[in-house]
Amino acid sequence: MRGKKSRIAIGCDHAAYSLKEKIKEFISQKGIRIEDFGTDGPESVDYPDFGIKVASLVSSGEFERGILICGTGIGMSMVANRFPCVRAALCSDLFSAIMSRRHNNANILVLGARVIGEGLAIEIVRAWLETPFDGGRHQIRIDKFDRIKYDCLSFCGYGDSDQPGSSLKLKTSRRKRQDT
C-alpha cells in the first residue's frame, strides 16, 4: 500500500470487537494508518451499520482499502459487495487472501471472528496487505464487473454524481440488546 490514500478503514460488529482491536494494533505497528469506524465495544449492534460506513468510504475512493469483521464474515461481505467498485473478499485461509489481491484486487478484506483464530487472522491481514495485484488479464476481468452496481444505482436515480458511492448518505444506529 502506498500513496496519499493509503490508509485503511476498519469496522466490525460486537462479535468481532476484540479481534478488531488486535488487528488495529498489528496494522499500526506496521506503520500503516488505520481509522476505526466502530463498533467500540462488545454490546450488540447491527453489522450493516458498520459495513455500510467502511464500504461507502472505499467505494467513494476516500480510503484505498478497508477491513470488515463480523461473526462469520458473511453479513459484512453481503453488505460491502453491494457498493460500486467495492471488491470485498471473505477470507479464512492464506491462499484465498493472497489470491484475492493477486487476481481480484480486493479492496476490502472480510474476516469471520467466530470462524478463524486470532493468529490466523493476523497472518491473513499481513498477506493481504503485502500482496500486490497482478494486473493484466485480471484487470480486464475486473473491468467487466466493476461498474455494474454504479451503473445500476445511476439508472435507479440515486444521485447524479460521477463519483461511485458519493450519493449514499449513511447513518449508524446502536441499541442495547440481549441478542447477539
Site residues, ligand RB5 (CB under 6 A)? 13, 15, 47, 70-72, 74-75, 180
Closest CB to ligand RB5 belongs to which residue? Answer: 75
**From the candidates 12, 14, 91, 103, which is the catalytic residue?**
103
152 is catalytic: no
* CA distances (Å), origin 86, targets 20, 23, 132, 158, 174: 20, 21, 17, 17, 25
Q: Which residues pair with 65 in a beta bridge?
A: 8
Displacement of CA 144 from its chain's centroid (Å)? 21
| Minimum gap (Å) between residue 178 Cβ and ligand RB5 | 12
Could you report how far apart the first and last alpha carbons of the chain are, in Å? 35
Look at residue 162 and give its three-state secondary structure: coil
Instruction: Name the residue nearer to ligand RB5 (CB basis): 1 or 74.
Output: 74
70 is catalytic: yes
| Minimum gap (Å) between residue 100 Cβ and ligand RB5 | 19
| Minimum gap (Å) between residue 176 Cβ and ligand RB5 | 15
